[in-house]
A and B are shown apart, each in its own frame.
Chain A
Amino acid sequence: MKPISFLGLVPIVVSTTAISFTPAFQTFKYNDISENTLNLTNPETLSHLTTAQESQYFGILLRINFNKYLNKWQTKTRFFSSPNQIIQDEDFQEIIKLGRPAIPLITQEIQNHPTYLVWALNIILGFKISDNPQITIPEACKLWIKYLKAN
């Protein structure tokens, strides 16, 4: 009879996220969360996360809120030409309020899609990445990514 070997077992990795959920919470479903986008499809899960203690789920909540504000802001302002209108939008202001913890999310977003979102870095960090008046938004996004990776 062939002996059972531990090396032959396939471990099941549930999650790499260091979050403990209370046994009393029955509605959370891991399958609701896409690790890339964290778009939640189950309203019960979303409701739980948005009402839970922030310290417990801070990273997840941050990304959920960031994605929510970003999507709404982009939809509302895509045809706007006024920088004032674009940055005074309430959802953009919510992104600003997320503050420095949101910087990795902003960086990731402008790396994939260089847009006016780079202005959130101007406002949160309080400076321009370049004084070159000819710099374009995609170029500014690249400079910000390079700067933030180095600092």
Chain B
Amino acid sequence: MSEDITDGFPGLKSDSNFKITSHKDFKYNCIAWAALYTDRWIWPPNTYELDGVHYHWPSDIDKGDNIETFINLFQSFGYTVCDDCIMEENYRKVALYKDPKTGNCTHASRQQRDGQWTSKLGREEDISHSSPYEIEGQNYGVVSCIMKKSGKYAHIDPLCTF
């Protein structure tokens, strides 16, 4: 199973911190996982009404797949753009990925309290990895933006209220 994942993300092959940390779960997607939710998909509503997907999207954020939309989304959660993915005390950091060809957001990962990063891989499992950059490539494109959120409980509880 882990070989399947490293085929999709070659950067994980040399990552000693790579491990699968959950079972497969359809109930949430990568953006929700980055925002500490496991009961919803966070993505702009689709043209189609689809079963099994409960779209959550703040009404005051534009709908679209471009990376700026997702930066606005995380800003609405209290995040600000920062320079790097280095661990900082009392900060939670997320990384947003984009397809360099389209400029569309493809993925988000989140830093954990131990400094490792965690990602929900589509319909597959959650994984941990050393930095946001191990999963760059064919599937998620490149890291476009690192954002951070301050607060004593930044690593503990979801503060999003939409």
Residues of chain A from 96 to 126 with CB closer than 8 A to chain B in the complex: 114-116, 118-119, 121-123
Complexed CA–CA distance, A136 and B53 (Å): 7
B122 with A80: CB separation less than 8 A = yes
CB neighbours (8 Å) of A85 from chain B are 65, 104, 106
For chain B, the count of residues having a C-beta within 8 Å of the partner chain is 29
Stretch in contact with the other chain, from A5-13, A63-71, A138-146: A138-146
Cβ of A87 under 8 Å from chain B: yes
Complexed CA–CA distance, A140 and B27 (Å): 12
Complexed CA–CA distance, A127 and B29 (Å): 23
Partner of A119, one of B31, B48, B121: B48
B41 with A135: CB separation less than 8 A = no
A79 with B124: CB separation less than 8 A = yes
Complexed CA–CA distance, A93 and B41 (Å): 22
A83 with B46: CB separation less than 8 A = yes
CB neighbours (8 Å) of A135 from chain B are 51-52
Give the Cβ gap from A84 to chain B, nearest Cβ, in Å: 6
Q: Which residue of A lies closest to B26 (CB)?
A: A137
A83 with B51: CB separation less than 8 A = no
B51 with A81: CB separation less than 8 A = no
A123 with B51: CB separation less than 8 A = no
A122 with B48: CB separation less than 8 A = yes
Q: Which residue of A lies closest to B45 (CB)?
A: A83
CB neighbours (8 Å) of A140 from chain B are 51-52
Give the Cβ gap from B155 to chain A, nearest Cβ, in Å: 22
Chain A residues in the interface with B (C-beta under 8 A): 77-85, 87, 114-116, 118-119, 121-123, 127-130, 133-141, 143-144
